[in-house]
Chains A and B, each alone.
Chain A
Amino acid sequence: MEVRREIDVEASPEEVFEALSTEEGRESWLDEPGREIHVESFEPPERLVWWWGAEDHPATRVDFRILARPGGARIVVTESAPSFPLADLRARFAMVAA
C-alpha cells in the first residue's frame, strides 16, 4: 500500500534535492527527530529514496522524484509499505463482503 503526494515549487531541482538529501536541508521542513533515515538511492538532482522507521512506526520506503518544470520543480513523493499487500486484500474483502 502506498500514498502519493506532489507539489510544485519555485526553486530549482538542485535546491530541492539539497533540501531533501542533507541533514541541514531537512532541518528546515522535517522536524521528526525520532525517525532514522537510511538512503537507498541517491541520484541528484532527480531522485532520492530512503527508508525510515521509528520505535512506534513500521519501516516504510519514501521515494522522491524531482522533475524540472518552467520556473521551478515538481516534487512527487510516494511512501510505501511494500510488505503489506493491502490493496489486494481490501479488493478481495470487498468482493466477499458484497
Chain B
Amino acid sequence: MSDELGAVFAALADPTRRSVVQSLLREGSTSVPALTASLPISRQAVAKHLAALEDARLLERLPPVGREVRYRLRGEALGPATAWLRDAESAWEGRLGRLKRAVEAGSGGDPRA
C-alpha cells in the first residue's frame, strides 16, 4: 500500500501528468494522438507520461477499437490516497494520546513507569 501511494505521489508531482489526469476527469478517456494535439509536447513525451500514470495504476487501457489505444482513469485510482488519510488520522490519534500522558506525567517522571 505504501509503495503504491509513493508511486501515486510521484506520478502526480509532475504538472504535465496532473493536466493529463485533469483532462481525463473532463473527457472520460484519451489517447496518445488526442493528447499530442492538445498539449505542447511531443508524441514521445505524451507516451512517456501515460506510461508513468499507468505504472502508478492511475490509468487503465480501454478495450481496443481498431488500432487506437485509449486510456481512462481507474475508478479506484484515488484509493491509496484515501487510505493514507485514514491511516494518518488514526496514527495522530494514538500519538497525541501518548503525548498527552507523557507531558501530564511531568518532565521529572517516566509516564510509562
Main SS class of interface, B: helix
Given contacts A9-B104, A29-B95, contact A84 B89 (CB under 8 A): no
How many A residues are at the interface, by size bracket?
A: 35 or more
How does the 8 Å CB contact mask read for A1-42 relative to B, with 1 for contact and 0 for none? 101011101110001101110000100111000000000000
- Please tell me if the beta carbons of B100 and A7 are within 8 angstroms of each other in the complex: yes
How does the 8 Å CB contact mask read for B14-53 relative to A, with 1 for contact and 0 for none? 0000100110011010000000000000000000000000
The tally of CB-CB contacts under 8 A between chains A and B is 96
How does the 8 Å CB contact mask read for B99-111 relative to A, with 1 for contact and 0 for none? 1111110110011
Interfacial residues, chain B to chain A (CB-CB below 8 A): 2-3, 5-6, 8-9, 12-13, 18, 21-22, 25-26, 28, 73, 78, 81, 84-85, 88-89, 92-93, 95-104, 106-107, 110-112
17 other A-B residue contacts (CB within 8 Å) besides A79-B88, A79-B92: A3-B85, A3-B89, A7-B97, A9-B100, A9-B103, A15-B107, A16-B103, A29-B99, A29-B102, A56-B3, A84-B12, A85-B18, A89-B12, A89-B25, A92-B22, A93-B73, A95-B25
